[in-house]
Amino acid sequence: MSALNKLAVFASGTGSNFEAIEKAIREGQVNAEIALVVSDKPEAKVIDKAKSAGIPTFVFDPKGYSSKQVFEQEIVEALHKEKVDWIILAGYMRLVGDTLLTPYEGRIINIHPSLLPAFKGLDAVGQAFDAGVKVTGVTIHFVDKGMDTGRIIAQEAVYVKDGMSKPDLEYEIQKVEHLLYPNTIQQLINRGNQA
């Protein structure tokens, strides 16, 4: 692995977690470099944010490919070119297939807005809110073939206080995400450097 850990951030949407990680790197809290932002949504806000930060992007439209294997092969080539060490999924709305998983197994992590294994899949905050739970939270986990199933690395609870709306809960969850993700990435980097 190169001295400065190289990250690729994968995102399909707003990219607030990308921003939090990028800021933490700039401020010296994470000893890494974002080498590439990968997005499957050509119109995603995260792409403009990456460009403003001067970070290269790899943007693709899955509709233009015959299969997941074909576009994942292109992604792997882009990752190898940039010598990426870690793949950071941050709102990447697709399951990762074997083509990407095999070369990066144990080096792909995801953030999910619930205390897994509760509330897997889409709109986890809404699922928790509708279920009326009093505690939910954020999970960071290794990625495997399943949806939100890989080994858990870190979790933090968020309490659902009386009178909270769903947007209130989303706000509280994102606040936790934006601290927990950079901290966890730095912990993984520290562990990797000791190995």
**Which residues sit in the known binding site?**
15-17, 68, 93-96, 110
Tokens of 141: 């986990």
- One residue of 8, 15, 119, 189 binding ligand GRF per CB under 6 A: 15
Q: State whether residue 135 is helix, strand or coil.
A: strand
Number of residues that this document lists for the chain: 195
71-96: burial string, b at 16+ Cβ within 10 Å, e else: bbeebbebbeebebbbbbbbbbeeeb
Q: Does 17 bind ligand GRF (CB under 6 A)?
A: yes
Q: Does 182 bind ligand GRF (CB under 6 A)?
A: no
Contacting ligand GRF within 27-86 (CB under 6 A): none
> Catalytic residue at 178?
no
Q: Does 112 bind ligand GRF (CB under 6 A)?
A: yes
In whole angstroms, how close is the CB of 173 to ligand GRF at the nearest point?
7
Question: If you ran DSSP here, which 8-state letter would residue 64 be given?
Answer: G
**With CB under 6 A as the contact rule, which of the stretches 29-37, 47-55, 105-113, 184-192 interacts with ligand GRF?**
105-113
Helices 166-194, 16-26: crossing angle, 10 deg rounding:
40
Name the closest residue to ligand GRF (Cβ): 91
Mask for 85-104, x = binds ligand GRF (CB under 6 A): -----xx-------------
**With CB under 6 A as the contact rule, which of the stretches 26-34, 61-69, 98-106, 110-118 interacts with ligand GRF?**
110-118
Q: Strand order in 86-89's β-sheet?
A: 57-59, 32-39, 5-10, 86-89, 108-112, 135-142, 152-159
Contact 39, 59 (CB under 8 A): yes
Give the binding site for ligand GRF (CB under 6 A). Answer: 11, 13-17, 90-91, 111-113, 177
